[in-house]
Chain A
Amino acid sequence: MKKVLVLVLLVIVGYFLTDTFNLIPFGENRIGNPQDEETVAGYYLNNTAEKTSVANTVTAIVVNYRGFDTLGEVTVLFLATTGLGSILFRRKEDEEEIERINKPSSSLMQTGSRVLFPLIALLGIYVFIHGHLTPGGGFQGGAIIATGFLLMLISYKNFKAGHTMLNWVESIAGITFVTIGLWGLLTGGTFLENTLPAGELNNLISGGVIPIIYIAVGFKVAAELTGVLDILLNIKPKK
């Protein structure tokens, strides 16, 4: 009986979704000519290369034009990490040695992860430093660095990602982001305004405060995702 009702609900939801989305033709040009009309996408595409000198339009939208939403997203990630740590809370008095892995992993995996870990960290740092020139940015680079830390955490028994250092990196990166926003407010403009000079297109140092914000976001996301993985891997097993 319950299955029949759920299937009827799914058919109704599917019918209304297809009916609505068939009114939007796939691939139709809705921007028009970016020079003449004033749609939102036309304005962003037209003014990104001239005013901000950033080659990646999506980076300019995420950090500069809609930068307040990025601040909200970084806050949501921080709240998720804190909530996870407080749900899986472990008291200090029953702190014994947690066995993260039962038997030591093979020497192939240990040698391989020790060789690969600096290279993965280098790739992650490259991706978020060049976020305004090539596809990439803070979130992608942070996730890549967290994957490198995961490889080391699985292979070695006594590899510790220090919690105090992760907390310090995360806090300093978050304070940098908010300070840049307040600096824009103090010098007479709006919150998160682009106050540094723009520079030339396709240079590494260009685009004002955009690379600095993305570097801070990259470090913050890497520290948070590593903290999530570290908390989840060190759960006391129920005897």
Chain B
Amino acid sequence: MQDFEQYNSIITTGVYGSAIALILIGLYAVLIKKHLIKIVIGLSIIDAGVHLLFVAIGYIKGGTAPIFSPGNEDAAQQMVDPVPQALVLTAIVIGFAVTAVALSLVIRLYKHHNTARIDQIKSLKW
């Protein structure tokens, strides 16, 4: 992905389009599906889309990874933006923790109501 003057529109559409498509697919799964595990899968896919959007903002044309190698210590001119990468590093771990707590709640609900669909749980309550 070094220099891409004539393919600029394809790559821009590809990166932003796939990230926004992931967010919309995850939102559809959270709002419409009835099984609780499907809803948690939707939450995980929304997380993936947002992380891709963050890292895509920090990319610079012709840049390299922000690590100094023993040969050249003053290569700071050609590096990509390191601040969104530090934010996404934290966000991935916290997304995993939220998924783990949500799944433990699903297991607990199944043990109590013997079903994991939300329309069935409404009908078992008097």
Contact = CB atoms under 8 A, between A and B. Distances in A.
A–B direct contact (CB < 8 Å): yes
State the majority secondary structure of interface residues on A. helix
8 contacts: A21-B53, A26-B11, A41-B81, A49-B74, A57-B66, A77-B94, A83-B101, A83-B104
A26 B32 CA distance: 33
Contacts of A55: 67-69
Interface of B: 8, 11-12, 15-17, 20, 23-24, 27-28, 31-32, 53, 56-57, 59-61, 65-70, 73-74, 76-77, 79, 81-83, 85-86, 89-90, 93-94, 97-98, 100-101, 104-105, 107-108, 111
Contacts of B85: 58
A27 B61 contact: yes
A80 B28 CA distance: 26
A209 B34 CA distance: 49
Given A6-B31, A84-B104, A228-B100, A40 B83 contact: yes
A45 B83 CA distance: 10
Nearest to A40: B83
Contacts, number: 128
B72 to A, nearest CB: 10
B15 A26 contact: yes
Contacts of B76: 34, 45-46, 49
A82 to B, nearest CB: 10
A88 B108 contact: yes
Interface residues on A, range: 35 or more
Contact of B82 (A26, A45, A73, A80): A45
Given A55-B67, A58-B89, 4 more contacts: A18-B20, A27-B60, A87-B105, A88-B104
B111 to A, nearest CB: 6
Contacts of A61: 82-83, 86
A237 to B, nearest CB: 10
Main SS of chain B's interface residues?
Answer: helix
Interface in A135-151: 135, 139
Contacts of B81: 30-31, 41
A21 B10 CA distance: 15
Contact of B79 (A2, A10, A45, A201): A45
B101 A80 contact: yes
Nearest to A54: B68
Contacts of A17: 20, 23
